Structure 1
Amino acid sequence: MNTPARILLADDHEIVRDGLAAHLRMLGDFEIVHAWSLATLLAAAAPPGCDLAVVDVHMPGMDGGQGLAALCSAYPALPLIILSGAATLPHAGEWQCWPSVRAIIHKSSPMSQLRAAVDLALARAPAAPPPLPGPWGDADALSALSPRLAQVAQAVAQGFSNQQIADALGLSEGTVKQYLKDIFRSLGVTNRTQLALLLHRRG
């Protein structure tokens, strides 16, 4: 009799973990292990460990990429799917290059995307390359942005809020919002995540 795969779900919101666990159990015979902080994540990943970890980057103790780096360093053979609800992930390009990382998925993504990532990770398939912009996004239009719009676009892609951008550039927050609308329209994107991915792929 085959032993069920053990999937570690790490998120500091219990309702999110329970929802993901319910969906995963519909996909296969999985044993689900829960964690809600970096400390509980590292403890749950310890031997006998798990076959896969699905990890939210914003939990107590994670400190962004430092918590992920600690997990990957301690358990380099543990496949990792990064899950986030943040509008932007400034370090996503760096994380995608880590051998442990199999996918980076936004919480608004369809369940089919998580299912595909889980299947590939449990099959020990190599990590997929960072996703190319789909039907949205015109990378060539980046060079046509004015210097000020380009500054705003880069700041947004780095994870700065509208207020932080306004303070840094000496603008009003309303002006930043209008600039952002102009940028979205010019580049053919609809949100900050798509903008960050577009800039990342353009380099």
Structure 2
Amino acid sequence: MVVQCKLVVADGHELFREGLSALCAAQPGIRVVGQADDGQETVSLIRRERPDLVLLDAELPGVGAVRTAHREPVAPRLVMLTAHEDAQLMERSMSVGPHACISKDSTRDELFTMIRTIVSNGDRMFVSLSRGVAEQVRFPSTGHLTAREKEVLQLVSKGFRNAQVASSLYVAEGTVKRHLANIYVKLGVGSRMQAVRTAVKMRLIKGIQ
């Protein structure tokens, strides 16, 4: 089933904004309802168009203004885009309350997988950043893991390395690494063992007998 999504693209760089808008508009189920180059214009579009999701540049001028609109009863989900994997920048961006963070260096498949996941189930704090940066940022812990993340962590608890997990689940090793980065963020931990211990304690996965 194709996920239906009304989308706003907010970025201060015109060529990037227009290119990303065109890329999104070409995807089945995605309708770009507006573009913005600063925080105030983004807020105006949110209130007028009621989008399902906003792709928001972490360095957008006036990005803090979006925080107010995000607290309104009918608020869009936010995906924070960053050109620089800077932990301090990402931590400041958390005050806006995004559902996801993704590097502008990510592939189109990563971006659209993220969009469809968030729009379909509202999964908060989906992260596509390097593990080093993700571990430095103090994201709010949600304690919620997707079914796939639980599968990954259950295999990790059995001592599987990333390559073995990837082989078992028929996915790329890079995909496993991104799942682990998401898990660390959601559980508020910084290592595989901490993630396993925390998940077992929270009864998210089964302990090893």
Report the TM-score when normalising by structure 1: 0.55
Q: How does 1:33-112 map to 2 (within 5 A)?
A: 33-62=34-63, 66-74=64-72, 77-90=75-88, 92=90, 101-112=98-109
The aligned length equals: 141
Structure 2 spans left out of the alignment, 5+ residues = 139-180, 192-209
* Deviation for aligned residue 1:70: 2.8
Q: Distance in 2 between matches of 1:75 and 1:86?
A: 32
* Deviation for aligned residue 1:113: 1.3
Contact 1:96 1:130 in 2 (8 A): no
Tell me if 1:113 matches 2:116: no
Paired letter, 1:123: S
Secondary structure of 1:123's aligned partner: helix
Q: Residues 44, 129 of structure 1: CA spacing in aligned structure 2 closer, same or farther, 3 A cutoff?
A: closer
Question: 190, 196, 202: which one pairs with 1:202?
Answer: 190
Structure 1 spans left out of the alignment, 5+ residues = 140-153, 159-193
* Deviation for aligned residue 1:97: 9.0
Q: How does 1:184-195 map to 2 (within 5 A)?
A: none
Structure with greater contact order relative to length (CA < 8 Å, sep ≥ 6): 1
Secondary structure of 2:55's aligned partner: strand
Identity, in percent, stands at 17
CA RMSD, aligned part only? 3.9
Contact 2:56 2:78 in 1 (8 A): yes
* Deviation for aligned residue 1:26: 2.7
Q: Residues 49, 131 of structure 1: CA spacing in aligned structure 2 closer, same or farther, 3 A cutoff?
A: closer
Secondary structure of 2:102's aligned partner: strand
Paired letter, 1:51: D
Per-residue CA distance 1:29-56 (angstroms, 9 max, x = gap): 4321101101100000004411111100
Secondary structure of 1:27's aligned partner: coil
Residue 9 of structure 2 corresponds to 9
Per-residue CA distance 1:149-183 (angstroms, 9 max, x = gap): xxxxx8xx89xxxxxxxxxxxxxxxxxxxxxxxxx
Q: Distance in 1 between matches of 2:189 and 2:95?
A: 13
- Structure 1's consecutive aligned runs of 4 or more residues displaced over 4 angstroms after TM superposition are 93-98, 128-134
Per-residue CA distance 1:50-76 (angstroms, 9 max, x = gap): 1111100212222xxx34433422466
Residue 23 of structure 1 corresponds to 23
Q: How does 1:139-158 map to 2 (within 5 A)?
A: none
* Deviation for aligned residue 1:95: 5.6
* Deviation for aligned residue 1:27: 2.0
Residue 167 of structure 1 corresponds to none
Report the TM-score when normalising by structure 2: 0.54
Q: Distance in 2 between matches of 1:79 and 1:8?
A: 10
Q: Distance in 1 between matches of 2:83 and 2:92?
A: 18
